[in-house]
Amino acid sequence: MAVLRIHTFPDPLLTRTSERIAEIDGRVAGYVADMVETMYAANGVGLAAPQVGLLERAIVVDTDSENRGLAPLCLLNPEVVEAEGDITWEEGCLSVVDYTAEVQRSARVLVSGWSVDQEEVRIEATGLKAVCLQHEIDHLDGKLFLDHLSPLKRGLYRKRLKKIKRSGELPDDGVPRI
């Protein structure tokens, strides 16, 4: 397994739509294992394949803070098949440096997909897990949580990012990122 490089905003790769995975094989299982390792190394609770440069529909999630690392959720070709209610959550992202913002999402989701063992998976989720699944699936469709914000907030973040890059310092605030 390997820790992969995480692409960050404004990398255009993050705006591209990922392709469905036609064949679940050892190659897919290998990069999904690398994604899990990368997510933990970056102190994240979720990671999508485009964030590590792969335009394929794969996500990994681990929102269980008490049993971290014991049972990461790895989903291939995930899609939200049911959604209801609203929840507002303070989101961050491994691909969005030093920024969090409140985003409105569905409070409950039912997500279907496939495991790396070629088994169909259906997950009903609420709270952080629901938010994280929606956030990661957005990545597969070329969307960042920034796309859920007003143009004003996105513009302010762009200015902030330029300032951070000029300073040469990327702060590590220790906050887990989705």
Instruction: For residue 37, tell me if it sits in a domain.
Output: yes
Instruction: State the pLDDT at residue 39.
Output: 97
Per the model's pLDDT, the better-predicted residue between 178 and 41 turns out to be 41
Instruction: For residue 3, tell me if it sits in a domain.
Output: no
Q: Is the pLDDT of residue 173 over 50?
A: no
Instruction: For residue 175, tell me if it sits in a domain.
Output: no
Domain extent at residue 128: 12-165
| Domain tally, the chain | 1
Residue 109: HSE in the Cβ half-sphere, 13 Å Cα cutoff: 21
Distances (CA, A) of 105 to 9, 57, 89, 157: 21, 20, 8, 20
Burial 83-94 (b: 16+ CB within 10 A, else e): eeeebebebbbb
For residue range 73-97, list pLDDT tens digits in order.
999 999 999 999 999 999 999 999 8
**CATH code of the domain covering residue 132:** 3.90.45.10
Instruction: State the pLDDT at residue 25.
Output: 97
Instruction: State the pLDDT at residue 98.
Output: 87
Catalytic option among 90, 119, 136, 169: 136
Instruction: For residue 36, tell me if it sits in a domain.
Output: yes
Q: Which pair of structure tokens corresponds to residue 31?
A: 């990069």
Instruction: For residue 177, tell me if it sits in a domain.
Output: no
Predicted structure pTM score: 0.91
Average pLDDT on 150-157 reads 90
For residue range 129-153, list pLDDT tens digits in order.
999 999 999 999 999 999 999 999 9
For residue range 20-72, list pLDDT tens digits in order.
999 999 999 999 999 999 999 999 999 999 999 999 999 999 999 889 889 99
Instruction: State the pLDDT at residue 174.
Output: 41
Instruction: State the pLDDT at residue 160.
Output: 86
136 flagged as catalytic: yes
Instruction: State the pLDDT at residue 136.
Output: 98
Give the single-character DSSP code of 31.
H
